[in-house]
Amino acid sequence: MTDKNTANHLKSLKKYTPARIGVGRTGTRPLTKDFLSFRTDHAAAVDAVYGEVSSKLIKELDLFSVETCYETKDHYLKRPDKGRILSEEAKTIIKEKCTLNPQVQIVVSDGLSASAIDENILDVYPALLDSLSMYGLNIGTPFFVKGGRVACMDDIGEILAPEAFILLIGERPGLVCAHSLSAYMCYQPKKGMKESDRMVISNIHRSGTPAIEAAAHMGTLISKMLDQKKSGVDLVV
């Protein structure tokens, strides 16, 4: 293959992926522009993990905030199990402020990317409320969980006993996108729930799954969960 053919082939491949392919090198080193781009994306990923969701944003969404047993960000990264358990204070606040046995419970959590919430939640959250409303579904009392992991759904489910649950949570950042949001859903969450009973719509961000499309799909899936009284691999979609 000639250099010209190689360049054309790489150009064609790059149309289909944001991955770093065919970046070239000078001697044994990467090109300066590519090295700087890598360092920039790495810094964005670190900032996403160690950042904090804007308190102004949480207030704007009219959410109250509780915490898991994560203690510190470093502890959160080393002990994922702590992010799955609510603090005793959080349990008390949720019991005081939330509607019990809601048809649909929505929770927002920073997870592994605070910037995912900062970048996407104002697009996703209102669209999700509209989608659920179109199906005539009743929503419980939404709130924010700091230091949450996906399975914190189960601890919350034990307290509120919702029929269906939606957790909007920041995804683990990569070097292509540091602000990707996921929506995890399940029917009647409880401790010991199998991962195969959960469903997820991932890569929600402006260069991935559009917010409105994701919210519409969430509404459809939740409606089917309530009709079929099941979720995950058992749900007929």
28-42 tens-digit pLDDT: 899 999 999 999 999
pLDDT 10s digits, 152-207: 999 999 999 999 999 999 999 988 889 999 999 999 999 999 999 999 999 999 88
Q: Is 150 annotated as a binding residue?
A: yes
- Say if residue 81's pLDDT is above 90: yes
189-to-159, 184, 224, 225 alpha-carbon distances in Å: 10, 11, 16, 12
Q: Provide, rounded to the nearest whole percent, the portion of the chain with pLDDT above 90.
A: 84
Whole-model pTM? 0.91
**Rounded CA gap, 61 and 142, in Å?**
9
CATH number of the structural domain 50-228:
3.40.50.11240
> Model confidence at 2, in pLDDT bands (50, 70, 90)?
low
Q: Is 171 annotated as a binding residue?
A: yes
- Residue 66: in which H helix or E strand, if any? strand 64-67
**Rounded CA gap, 81 and 2, in Å?**
53
